[in-house]
Amino acid sequence: MIKTQMIDYREGDTVCEGYLAYDDAKTGKRPGILVAHDWSGCGEYTHKRTQMLAELGYVAFAADIFGKGIRAKSYPECVEISKNYYADRQLTRRRAQAGLDTLLQQPNVDASKIATVGYCFGGIVVLELARSGAAVKATVAYHGQLSTPNPADAKNIKGSVLILHGAIDPVVPPDEVAAFEKEMEAAKVDWQLTAYGGAVHTFTNWALPTEGAQAAYNEKADKRSWLAMKNFFAETIDA
């Protein structure tokens, strides 16, 4: 049975409220996965994805990057709340690390087998955590933005990286993808990128309509990318 609970923790003076999920029928330590939310905050969609990871046998913890009670309810609020984290990548890294530290404190987590999964804005979060040199074996970014003000920091990445990208995502254009590929190659990172034809931004979010110029749900890309993630974990944290 999947057990879930809200966990309060701190990053500096900021109280954050994360979401933990795991199968309490399993015994012993198992791989841990840190989940990073989209720019609306750590809400229902992120919680569901965290539960889905727990159903695969992992201990999953959704970090709260924005802080307890800070959740966007409209597009303008998403822009306003998230802008500081785009601008201040050190702040983003600290918030991600605080979430990772909380995951590592769980008694059923194998600290040697840690992965991260980020959605949209969360893609930036998990990539910046990897670039900081965190002890993460596998980083997965779903339809996440790939740019960074500090591309040389890619040399600090300790694990493997998987990018799951919408081939016609207007938020992450080809030039940004190419710059990311150059960044990864220059740092000799073990990385891979899969682009899903016909998919735009936020293609895994089932709450969105299936048609949209900027963001839309794409069932095929959602299912294929989830399978790609599972295969990636089988190679990295399950090995």
pLDDT at 20: 98
pLDDT at 90: 97
Element (H, E) at 224: helix 219-236
Please state whether the predicted TM-score (pTM) of the whole model is above 0.95: yes
- Tell me the pLDDT of the chain averaged across its residues: 97
- CATH code for the domain of 99: 3.40.50.1820
Task: Give the count of domains, the chain.
Answer: 1
How many angstroms separate the CA atoms of 52 and 21, rounded? 9
pLDDT at 239: 78
pLDDT at 154: 98
170: tokens are: 């207007």
Give how far Cα 31 sits from Cα of 55, 61, 89, 107, 138, Å: 13, 11, 27, 11, 11
Residue 21's φ and ψ, nearest 5 degrees, are -145, 135
The mean pLDDT value for 60-85 works out to: 96
% of the chain with per-residue pLDDT over 90: 98
pLDDT in tens, 217-230: 999 999 999 999 99
According to DSSP, the β-strands at 191-196 and 160-166 are parallel
Domain assignment of residue 81, given as a range: 2-236
